[in-house]
Copies of this chain bind each other. A is one copy, B any other.
């Protein structure tokens, strides 16, 4: 954490900070460092909703899945998060969440938490053949996207198209990424990292296209020990789309630890206008 002066709070932690009002209600505030072109970066909103469960006194275990629905724009300013415990079983717990401003819901979410136990295990997804993170140059995000400055991105392939780029027939991006300044990985941090892939339509079309996530689902494969073992090393993300048409496309991502373990798989449906 040498980049952080003394006891300064990391901007990520400032952005997801919630003040508990009791009964599953919290207040928070958008953070300018995580602004997107309209409203905040979707990943920071996902992280903030997860954070509400993380600090809830009745939380059982760790996150297994998280679905976030971006129902309307979040304006710069304060917001309220509500976390409702829908059902708690012996080893799983279901949450229903929303983020509202002035009484209007901007974002809804559901999360499944649970206790994880040792079982048979196997990873079928294959860690891609890529150079190590420190062998790939850091490439800054376009300057007008504030949140991109909070991530150190090293594109192995599929960087955001530059002006004059041509179309591509493959929407795949492979990128080493970590928070900037570096920050030890935790579940909210991982939830946000699952959304750092710019909309795949830009890569296919080779230019800017208005687009925004409608719904995002993340499955956490890493347990708490594996997440904290990542420390502040870069994780490898790879994302691609399956289908674009009639105003929407999907994209799926895999997030791998530097040691080649699969940390999360994540899927989203994205609106576009083209």
Give me the interface of A with B, judged by CB distance under 8 Å: 64-65, 67, 69, 71-72, 86-87, 89, 91-92, 94, 96, 98, 104-105, 108, 110, 112, 114, 116-125, 170-171, 204-205, 214-215, 217, 219, 221, 223, 240-248, 250, 252, 254, 262, 265, 267, 269, 271-274
* Contact yes or no, A267 B217, CB < 8 A: yes
Chain A interface secondary structure, helix, strand, loop or mixed? strand
- How far is B267's CA from A219's CA once the two chains are assembled, in angstroms? 9
* Contact yes or no, B221 A118, CB < 8 A: no
Known: A114-B214, A124-B240. 9 other contacts (CB 8 A): A67-B215, A67-B217, A71-B89, A121-B245, A124-B242, A215-B217, A215-B219, A217-B267, A267-B267
* Contact yes or no, B94 A269, CB < 8 A: no
* Contact yes or no, B65 A269, CB < 8 A: yes
- How far is B71's CA from A96's CA once the two chains are assembled, in angstroms? 11
* Contact yes or no, A242 B215, CB < 8 A: no
Q: Which residues of chain B are within 8 angstroms of A269 by Cβ–Cβ distance?
A: 64-65, 112, 219
- A128 nearest CB across to chain B (Å): 13
Specify which of B72, B170, B240 is in contact with A89 (CB 8 Å cutoff): B72
Given contacts A64-B269, A87-B72, A217-B267, contact A122 B243 (CB under 8 A): yes
- How far is B125's CA from A171's CA once the two chains are assembled, in angstroms? 11
- How far is B121's CA from A205's CA once the two chains are assembled, in angstroms? 11
